[in-house]
Structure 1
Amino acid sequence: MTSSDPFGIYVHWPFCKAKCPYCDFNSHVRHAPVDALSFARALATELAWFAAQTPGRTVTSIFFGGGTPSLMPPAAVGHVLDALAALWPVSPAVETTLEANPTSIEADNFRGYRTAGINRVSVGVQALDDGDLKALGRQHSAAEALDAFRLAATIFPRVSFDMIYARPGQTPEAWQAELSRALAEQQGHMSLYQLTIEPGTAYFDLHAGGKLMMPGDGLAADLFDLTQELTARAGLVAYEVSNHAAPGHESRHNLLYWRYGDYAGVGPGAHSRISAGENRHALIAEKHPETWRGLVEKQGHGIISDSVVTREDQASEYLLMGLRIAEGIDIGHYAALAGRAIAPAKLKHLEDLGFIATEGPRLKATPEGRKLLNAVIAELAV
């Protein structure tokens, strides 16, 4: 990586009001008030450690994720952003995103976040059906979510409308009505994720016990097709499997991940990918918030794992991330990482099936291939 290559910062805020039954992220509920500024100071300290590892880089995107970053007081967000700006050059066109839950209490912080330097919010609406919101463990109503989104759209230059579909009992007719309602509100970007059952979640246990019936593969595929049809009709391009945007509204930070760029992740459980010479390092921070903070106070960072990613593993990660996006991967770059080219016979077989397409030096998954992306990647990586 060179100093001119995109470089992102991910900031993890691990606290939530409640644990959603489908969530497998590193999130924690505290029944006593969180000392937000002490965690913000620890984040700033860990940022300083990463700055020493990445001299000469310019920050092009910043992303506050969680957990629930919209539980951060604006002063804490400002403290982190001020620290970051003192440690690295920051691009004048930097994208600074914060994930926000649309409760009225959290929406009250929106103007403070904008003043602190946030210029994009990703609003976790998740559903526009009050019964489904309750089943998903969300703390807001559909009306409250729409009010919060509309407020965000008046404050921030860019906003994303985020939803979950393929929910238990959801029909294509219900999803068409719900998504159409959301498309009438969106402001250029939508993240639309199919609900997946992850180990370690309450939904996983319910599903394993036969108490949660999920849509079958056929229905899930129909809902995916419907999503692509309605978003395309509204002028939102499916630039990634689950993300749709009008031109110029794509998430630049998430594109950094999918293009396999470098990023530093600070906060409990955060991951990083940092290039150093010929090597690429994978770093992981301690997941438990208070333990992480203690490590930062003791040694300047909360990193508990730092491993060199082999060229073969880099190739696998590049393939896994890059085929999620419409632009695909550079075939030559993959071959350089893997130490071998993809067998022409494999490419022809998958092209004949209609799952991939090659355009000059680039390899892309087709719309049909995106439905079976894991299988396509597994075939190519062997």
Structure 2
Amino acid sequence: MSPDPLALYIHWPFCVSKCPYCDFNSHVRDAVDQARWRDALLADLSHEAVLTPGRRIGSIFFGGGTPSLMPPATVAALIEAADRHWGLAPDCEITLEANPSSVEAARFADVAAAGVNRVSLGLQSLDDAALGFLGRAHSVAEGLGALETAQAAFARVSFDLIYALPGQSLVGWEGELARALGFGTGHLSLYQLTIEPGTRFATLAAKGELTIPDADAAADLFETTRAMTAAAGLPAYEISNHARPGEESRHNLTYWRYRDYVGVGPGAHGRRGGHATFRRKKPENWLSAVDRNGHGIEAEDALVPQEQAIEALLMGLRLREGVDLSRIEAFGALPVDAPRVDRLVREGLLARDGNRLRATDTGMPVLEAMLREIVAA
């Protein structure tokens, strides 16, 4: 039997500005040597191809940063190189994250011609005041214009919204989400605002200048989100992701189902053949490493079976489908506290069907707390 297809992640680290909530590996630079960056990404990709012979690529994801700032010719060169090195599956999903500015939207036709067949737009809000609070450079009108352009250029379109903002009411979010569902995309990523360490929002929160909704209010928002998306035909298939059946992100499902993926570019992670890879985060350090070594890897560590089992459990329980415990057990001992799992099943927070374990609708809002409880020490 042939191995599962690989997923390929390509990281473009540059943004026009740094959003105050963002803890991703993104950087602002006055100028970018595009030819040098294209050549370095191609070299990093080639290194991974040598180490994963006999595999095909099932999905490619251009993430960031803001990969819609990449020249379409660079996007095309990377897709062509992936096809040359590995071969692309006939139904290969190729996603590019994009900011919804008019400048970047003007490139969508060229990006589609380069081979991208799915775009993920960072709309983040349908309220101009909220966009200002989130540090976004686009307006609602500009974002919706970019969405219309994207829907004309790509077969599949997703967009992100952030909710549970300071002062956001349940009624206000219901109205915003209803509007979002009316645009007809097949996929939505809906994230509650979290305060990440090292961000400007974390600094404001530490000073008492920023307060997000409490746990009860956040739970109400979460439950309303799941009910409304399900009623609209886009049920949650992962804790924060909603899609029409068949329009789930195949690339992200590779992560959550704990399959192999390779990552190239600054700060990119990978998991292949029982090894975890991590590339240098700072763009200049990554470039120097590629020049010196032919790749940007900073660390490559063998994953011990127990570590793989725990990671597979933690990732898989984010999914509505849950996890196959027999597959996790194949890594070694099952890393769960069985009596605690049984108790959570009795309480209706987990459900077990044969070897499959999943979080229920009641349990999903408290998933992180449950994971801390059931993972065996």
Stretch of structure 1 that moved more, 121-130 or 331-340: 331-340
Report the CA distance between 1:36 and its aligned residue: 2.0
Q: 1:47-97: CA deviations, max 9, x gaps?
A: 110011101001000000000001111111111112211111110100000
Hey, what does 1:136 align to over in structure 2?
134
SS in 2 for 1:95: strand
Partner-residue secondary structure (3-state), 2:148: helix
Equivalence for 1:18: 17
Who is 1:371 aligned against? Answer: 365
Where 1:372 maps in the other structure, the secondary structure is helix
Match of 1:322 in 2: 316
2:276 is equivalent to residue 282 of structure 1:
yes
1:91 corresponds, among 86, 89, 92, to 89
Could you say which residue in structure 2 is the equivalent of 1:52?
50
Q: Deviations over 1:175-199 (max 9, x none)?
A: 1111111100131100001111000
CA contact (8 A) 1:357 1:364 kept: yes
Which residue does 2:76 correspond to in 1?
A: 78
1:34 alignment partner, SS class:
coil
For residue 363 of structure 2, give the secondary structure of its aligned residue in structure 1: helix
1:25 aligned partner, one-letter code: F
Shift of residue 37, structure 1, vs aligned partner: 2.6
Equivalent of 2:214 in 181, 204, 216: 216
Distance 1:3 1:48, change over 3 A: farther
Q: Give the RMSD, CA atoms, in angstroms.
A: 1.1
Query: How far, CA to CA, are the matches of 1:113 and 1:281 in structure 2?
Result: 32
In structure 2, distance between residues paired with 1:15 and 1:299: 23
In 2, the alpha carbon distance for the partners of 1:248 and 1:340 equals: 31
Whole-angstrom distance in 1 between the partners of 2:107 and 2:88: 24
Cα deviation for residue 342 of structure 1 reads 4.0
Deviations 1:287-315 (A, max 9, x none): 01121111111111010101111111101
Which amino acid is 1:98 matched to? L
Describe the shift of the 1:343–1:294 C-alpha distance in structure 2 as closer, same or farther (beyond 3 A): closer
1:204 is matched with which residue?
202
User: Are the counterparts in 2 of residues 335 and 342 from structure 1 also a CA contact under 8 Å?
Assistant: no
1:161 and 1:186 in contact (8 A); partners too: no
Matched residue type, 1:7? L
- TM-score norm. by structure 1 comes to 0.96
Structure 2 CA distance for aligned equivalents of residues 312 and 343 of structure 1: 14
Is the contact made by 1:3 and 1:58 (CA closer than 8 Å) also made in structure 2?
Answer: no
CA contact (8 A) 1:6 1:256 kept: no
Q: Which residue pairs with 2:40 in the alignment?
A: 42
Give me the whole-angstrom Cα distance separating, in 2, the residues matched to 1:65 and 1:344: 38
1:305-353 CA distance string (max 9 Å, x none): 0111111110110011000001111111222324247454223201111
1:186 match: secondary structure: coil
Letter aligned with residue 148 of structure 1: A
Give runs of ≥4 in structure 1 deviating > 3 Å.
340-344
Cα offset, 1:360, TM superposition: 2.4
Residues 160 and 186 in structure 1, CA contact (< 8 A), matched pair in contact too: no
Partner in structure 1 of residue 226 of structure 2:
228
Task: Please list every run of 5 or more consecutive structure 2 residues that lacks an aligned counterpart in the other structure.
Answer: none
**Equivalent residues, number:** 376
- CA deviation string 1:144-176 (max 9, x = no partner): 111111110111010002111111111111111
TM-score, normalised to structure 2, is: 0.98
SS at structure 1 position matched to 2:18? coil
CA distance in 2, matches of 1:341, 1:144: 48
Distance 1:340 1:179, change over 3 A: closer
CA distance in 1, matches of 2:162, 2:337: 37
Deviations 1:232-289 (A, max 9, x none): 11011110000000011000000000000000100000000011xxxx1011000011
Query: What pairs with 1:1-382 in structure 2 (closer than 5 Å)?
Result: 3-31=2-30, 33-275=31-273, 280-340=274-334, 342-382=336-376
2:28 maps to a residue whose letter is V
Q: Which amino acid aligns with 2:22?
A: C
C-alpha separation in 1, matches of 2:210 and 2:336: 41
Does the Cα contact within 8 Å between 1:62 and 1:97 map onto a contact in 2? yes
Q: Which is worse superposed, 293-302 or 98-107?
A: 293-302
- For residue 15 of structure 1, give the secondary structure of its aligned residue in structure 2: coil
| Structure 1 residue 6 displacement after superposition | 2.6
Q: Does structure 1 retain, via aligned residues, the 8 Å contact 2:76–2:114?
A: yes
CA distance in 2: counterparts of 1:103 and 1:37, whole angstroms:
24
| Structure 2: distance between partners of 1:243 and 1:340 | 27
Distance 2:136 2:35 in 1: 26
Range with greater deviation from structure 2 (331-340 or 142-151):
331-340
Q: How much has 1:379 moved relative to structure 2?
A: 2.0
**Are the equivalent residues in 2 in contact too, given 1:41–1:79 (CA < 8 A)?**
no
* 1:21-42 deviation digits (Å, cap 9, x = unpaired): 00000000012x2112311211
- Residues of 1 paired with 2:335 and 2:98: CA distance? 42
Residue 368 of structure 1 aligns to a residue whose secondary structure is coil
Q: Which runs of 5+ in 1 are unaligned?
A: none
- Answer whether contact 1:70 1:99 (CA < 8 A) is retained: yes
Q: Take 1:317 and 1:50, find their aligned partners in 2: how far apart are those partners?
A: 22
